[in-house]
Amino acid sequence: MRTKADIQKQIIQAVDEVKKTNPMAGSITNSVTINFVANAQLAVGGSAAMVYLPDEGEFLAKAGGATYINVGTLTPIYGQTLPLTAKTLYENGKPWVLDPVAVGIGSLRTELLRQFKAYKPSVIRGNASEIIALAGLWGLDGGTKASNVRGVDSTDSVIAAKNAAVALARWTGGAVAVSGKTDLITDGFAVVFSHGGSHFMEKITGAGCSLGGVVGVYAAVTSPFIAAVTGTAVYNLAGKRAESKTDGPAGFQLEFLNELYKATAADIAGNPFDVEEV
């Protein structure tokens, strides 16, 4: 059984290791948010590399500490880049984070996400509707083939995605993070509910995408579950602190990056969360 104290100890170890080693977490990500993803990764102590082409994705998969794949804004070349990268990551035993943005919309996106089932991402991060839809696409418990995704927004509650998240985590052997008012993170056997954040996160582009990138940074140095819990915790902490210093989304985005940078390991481990067994 995972205890809260044990999780907090591992969070501190992960944060300290990232700040000490500056691990590479490359990304193939949403072109709308690429700058914010890179800046967030740098703010927590990681190193960023953004690529597009198949050979670059393959190289990154072999050379990087971890990789973040986001299917948000697809171009035809991604039909080659993403499967090759995911396959290379899986075959080389490298950790990777999948953000199944807008799953269920379009044939290319659907086919790519279907292929990813075999390559078992270390962490899957998405909103509740995306997690439910991905579980449905992969034929797992808790999923539905009818997507309730509205663009990048969720129409389902976080708790409604719990069974799908557990099923996905058990299939991959990794972790799933469901973003919402209260975030849910599971490895299929334990569930963490992480508190904090800010309503301004819904008013800026890239909060979810950059979280995936930051989870990738932590995945380079710790287990998928602790990486997902740590990334979510630092986001909830930074969001809460940034909101107290501003009254609008533009100022929030600026302060949010500052707070990601300033958060200590003890601060992050101390962000409120609850843990329960499945």
Range of the domain at 121: 4-277
Q: Is 244 annotated as a binding residue?
A: no
In sequence order, what are the residues at sequence separation of 6 or more whose Cβ sits closer than 8 angstroms to the Cβ of residue 168?
124, 131, 134, 135, 138, 140, 176
| Structural domain count of the chain | 1
Q: Render pLDDT for 72-125 as a digit per residue (tens, 0 to 9).
A: 999 999 999 999 999 999 999 999 999 999 998 899 999 999 999 999 999 999
pTM given for the model = 0.95
Please check if 206 is assigned to a binding site.
yes
Query: CATH code at 122?
Result: 3.40.1190.20
Task: Give the per-residue pLDDT at 154.
Answer: 52
Asked whether residue 79 is marked as a ligand-binding residue, the answer is no
Provide the pLDDT confidence category of residue 144 given band limits of 50, 70 and 90.
confident
Q: C-alpha angle 229/64/268, rounded to 5°? A: 25
Q: 177, 228 in Cβ contact below 8 A?
A: yes
210 annotated as belonging to a binding site for a ligand: no
- Dist CA 53 CA 81 (whole Å): 6
How confident is the model at residue 156, as a pLDDT?
83
90-94 contacts: CB < 8 A, separation 24 or more? 90/118, 90/119, 90/120, 92/61, 92/62, 94/61, 94/62, 94/64, 94/65, 94/66, 94/67
